[in-house]
Chains A and B, each alone.
Chain A
Amino acid sequence: MNRRNILIGGGLIASIVVVGLAQSKLDAIAATQMVRAPKFEVDPYWPKPLPNNWVYGTVIGVATDPQDNVYIVHRGVTGAEAGAEGDTPIAECCRSAPPLVQFDADGNLIRAWGHPPGPVTVGQASFVWPASNHGLGIDQEGNVWIGGNGGGDSHVLKFTVDGTYLGTYGEPGNAPNSRARNHFSQVADISFNFAANEAIFADGYGNKRVAVVDITSRQIKRFWGAYGNQPIDQPTYRGTRAAGQTPPWSAERFNEQQYRNPVHCADPSNDGLLYVCDRPNNRVQVFRLDGTYVREAYFAPATLGDGAVWDIGFSPDPEQSFLYIADGKNARIRIVDRQSMQEVSTLGTGGRYAGEFQAVHSLTTDSQGNIYATETYEGRRLHKFVYLGITDVPRHQGAAWPAR
């Protein structure tokens, strides 16, 4: 707190210079320092090329199944990039791949499916496809769950692996209400507590809560806000901090008693804790699965706008010793010691090449410990980082290219 106040509040110019010099020296040392952490190498040729002049739009959800197949949900492309679409195409390339795309572990395309936004009728089934795709979960039966962050996306859809409609959780068409028991608001991500037959929703872009749902009855069992508080939909807590905003927001930056939107992930560890992404507050909050608050940790706390904590995965060792945090604003995956909640290494860097991110958005792992990470905005890719074990790694692993 003290150092933050000095840096942000101004203080003596001389002390800033001294601090700055010391920090750059520390950074220089840190850059060459090796630390013990999971090591990764990007596979630049994964996945295999898509057929049909298909391209991805913003890739805003990823999940793996027990067979290590990889699933993404994306939003498609528009305008000149969709030059091959429409009644009068202007070019042979490109067209949007269907929203749900599935690959095997080798990167081969298995299948792709999905629907346009709005009411859909397929045979006997009627449902509402999200206005804006967002968030993906695969349950223990291999079913596909899809959230959404567009207007009126106050529900979650469930399908079989090949796209047969199974059900809707919540009701579409509702405005935010963080205490509602019959709907959600723009669910950002979906995970599961299979032992309890529960689905866990990061709820979301509209609401300010984690919501736990019984998979069978589709009823909301419990929900909670930051620190386990009752969520409040006060506008004070809405929105993101814009560039150039200085105090007074800094005074309330820590210990903010409500989530800022979006609540962007809620991922359970194998020891019964739930890790929640409070994205624009740059923090992870940790709970027991019953909603009891345990602790929190901040990352890149000076980050404004979209925030630094976008999605979370776990290392493959039995203790899940490390967390992986997708930081879309700062173009890195943060590798964090789960006990201390201290960052030990980072993976990725800014840019458009293999292992580089424009806005790393969603992240998951497979049974081999590989990381799959997606990019939104103009990044629009699914990356595979191959897990090489826990060993000595650089403080910043960067693009993690393989040796030639």
Chain B
Amino acid sequence: MKRLIVRGAAAAVVAGSLAGCGISDDGTVPLLEVDALWPQPLEYPTILGPVSGVTVAPDRNILIVTITSLDQFSAANEINVDTGTGECCTPTEAVLEFAPDGSLVRQWGGPDQGYPWPSRPHGIGVDPDGNIWIGGAWYQPAPAGGRGGRGRGAAADPNAPPPTPPAPVYDSHILKFSRTGEHLATIGTPGSAPNSSSTNSFGGPADFSFDADAGEVFVADGYTNHRVVVLDVATGAVKRSWGAYGNAPDDAPQGPYDPSAAPSQQFRTVTCAELSNDGLVYVCDQGNNRIQVFETDGTFVSEVVLKGSTRGNGAVRDIAFSSDPDQRWIYVTDGMNERVHILFRPTLTLKTSFGIGGRYPGNFRQLGGVAVDQQGNVYTAEDGQGRKVQKFRYIGVGPVAGPELGPLHPQATGGM
């Protein structure tokens, strides 16, 4: 990642006034349109599972991580090759790499390949050495006999005892691979219970960003821990960590999110930790509907609440910066309201949103990850039953057309 602004200078600016950094809000935003013909169709009968992470490599290839285990394909009618009931379909490998033109370059990874694949892989990043980092979201398996069973038609025995609750499965580690899928390292101990003070485990590590100059990786930790944790890229050793507002993280239960309550002094779910090129770390506190901004040492800088009345999983799932040198805008994925929000970065002001709920191009279902390539194109990942990576072509910068831009159909189609 390029670091165009010296970190110390940026920090000084932040300590003063963000408006003083020379970037003024001229009312414009990036203009995008959805590309319904990207990526190219996979070969029959393979299909994508839930897409739980997306990133862009320095060579502009797009990598995604998907969930491939059969018990996660809740529609048992979809993986009929695996259930022996039909000709279509079967999951791809877990990691797919696409060229900018949408062709599949390679695929690799998944369970039972000699390394501790997460129950629910989540988040993907490319480090400065070109290696791939993958986290995992803690996963509680569905009770036996509930949704997610493989077969249909097997009648439940009404006299059977209630199913024993399954043991929790903790995704508490990070996997590191070469670009082509060779397992290089397992960081953290798999199967560890949540512990935001741990130096040898994580709690649903959700996403990564990298500081090439400092040799550090920022880990959003995570779905069950409540911290940002900074590791040495080469060794995986924990260097420092912090909670909301820079507080010491606390794993005490927080109860359901209450929009009218005072701002929580702890993170609820930490699902992104993105380093800007002026040395700020933008953290997604998904369950609290907010972004908190820090210096790389964990010093709290600022925050913004988005769609603060949102409950459920929350409105701030992942962020990516626009591709201009100043990274003037932030794209925020919101999988509850099924929108991508565009913020003006210096003031964290919501400018507009695009996308609608649904299953069509420019629609989102369980919107999750987001990434931006070197030309400004935006890639979104849909988890759950969305199961797509979508491309939104960058076509320039212009005035904001309104608070809701819709699914961004190309103009030639006459769409909204």
Contacts and interface: CB of A to CB of B under 8 A. Distances in A.
Interface stretch (B151-159, B177-185, B261-269): B151-159
Given A93-B336, A305-B85, A359 B312 contact: no
A92 B86 CA distance: 38
A330 B87 contact: yes
A329 B80 contact: yes
B387 interface: yes
Given A91-B312, A305-B85, A331-B88, A349 B41 contact: yes
Among B41, B83, B406, B415, find the residue whose CB has the most chain A CB atoms closer than 10 A. Answer: B41
A50 B409 CA distance: 13
A92 B359 CA distance: 17
A281 to B, nearest CB: 14
A398 B41 contact: yes
B85 A378 contact: no
Contact of B153 (A91, A93, A242, A377): A242
B407 to A, nearest CB: 5
Given A91-B336, A92-B307, A56 B85 contact: no
B356 A305 contact: no
Interface stretch (A15-23, A41-49, A117-125, A138-146): A41-49
B401 to A, nearest CB: 15
A22 to B, nearest CB: 18
A379 B88 CA distance: 14
Contact of B152 (A45, A91, A243, A353): A243
B63 to A, nearest CB: 18
Contacts, number: 177
A341 to B, nearest CB: 19
Contact of B36 (A304, A353, A396): A353
B78 interface: yes
A398 B44 contact: yes
Interface residues of A, number: 54
B37 A354 contact: yes
A376 to B, nearest CB: 9
B337 A93 contact: yes
Given A90-B311, A350-B44, A359-B78, A244 B359 contact: no
B153 A378 contact: no
Interface range, B side: 35 or more
A45 B409 contact: yes
Contacts of A177: none
B186 interface: no
A53 interface: yes
B389 to A, nearest CB: 10
A401 to B, nearest CB: 5
A83 B312 contact: yes
A117 B90 CA distance: 35
A243 B151 contact: yes
A377 B315 CA distance: 26
A253 to B, nearest CB: 14
Given A91-B311, A93-B337, A350-B45, A300 B87 contact: yes
Nearest to B362: A49
B214 interface: no
B388 A353 contact: yes
A345 interface: no
A300 B388 contact: no
Among B47, B359, B362, find the residue whose CB has the most chain A CB atoms closer than 10 A. Answer: B359
Interface in A78-95: 80-81, 83, 90-94
A350 B336 contact: no
Contacts of A330: 45, 80, 86-88
B37 A358 contact: no
Given A354-B361, A358-B75, A401-B37, A243 B84 contact: yes
B126 to A, nearest CB: 25
Interface in A31-60: 44-45, 48-50, 53, 55-56
A94 B80 CA distance: 30
Majority DSSP secondary structure for residues of A touching B: loop
Interface in A355-383: 355-356, 358-359, 377-381
Nearest to A303: B86
A75 interface: no
Interface in A89-136: 90-94
A242 B83 CA distance: 9
Contact of B336 (A49, A90, A240, A241): A90
A326 to B, nearest CB: 13
A306 B87 CA distance: 12
B157 to A, nearest CB: 15
Contacts of B45: 330-331, 349-350
Contacts of A331: 44-45, 88-89
A380 B359 CA distance: 7
Contact of A49 (B83, B313, B388, B416): B416
A45 B153 contact: no
B310 A91 contact: yes
Nearest to A330: B87
A48 B358 CA distance: 12
B226 to A, nearest CB: 22
A264 interface: no
A328 B153 CA distance: 17
B80 A352 contact: no
A94 B153 contact: no
Among B80, B360, B406, find the residue whose CB has the most chain A CB atoms closer than 10 A. Answer: B360
A90 B78 CA distance: 29
Interface in A380-404: 380-381, 396, 398-399, 401-402, 404
A239 interface: yes
Contacts of A404: 37
B339 interface: yes
B310 A45 contact: no
A66 interface: no
A304 B359 contact: no
A332 interface: yes
B85 A377 contact: no
Contacts of B36: 44-45, 353-354
B338 A93 contact: yes
A93 B77 contact: no
Contact of A45 (B74, B359, B386, B413): B413
Interface string B348-374: 000000001111111101000000000
23 contacts: A45-B361, A48-B416, A49-B407, A53-B356, A90-B312, A91-B337, A93-B336, A241-B153, A242-B152, A243-B85, A243-B151, A305-B85, A329-B80, A330-B88, A350-B47, A351-B42, A351-B48, A353-B36, A377-B75, A377-B77, A378-B74, A380-B359, A381-B360
- 9 pairs of A and B residues whose beta carbons are closest in the complex: A94-B357, A44-B36, A350-B89, A242-B153, A90-B311, A304-B85, A331-B88, A45-B413, A93-B357
Given A240-B152, A358-B78, 15 more contacts: A48-B416, A49-B409, A53-B356, A55-B359, A56-B358, A92-B307, A93-B356, A242-B154, A244-B83, A244-B84, A305-B85, A306-B85, A330-B45, A353-B361, A402-B37
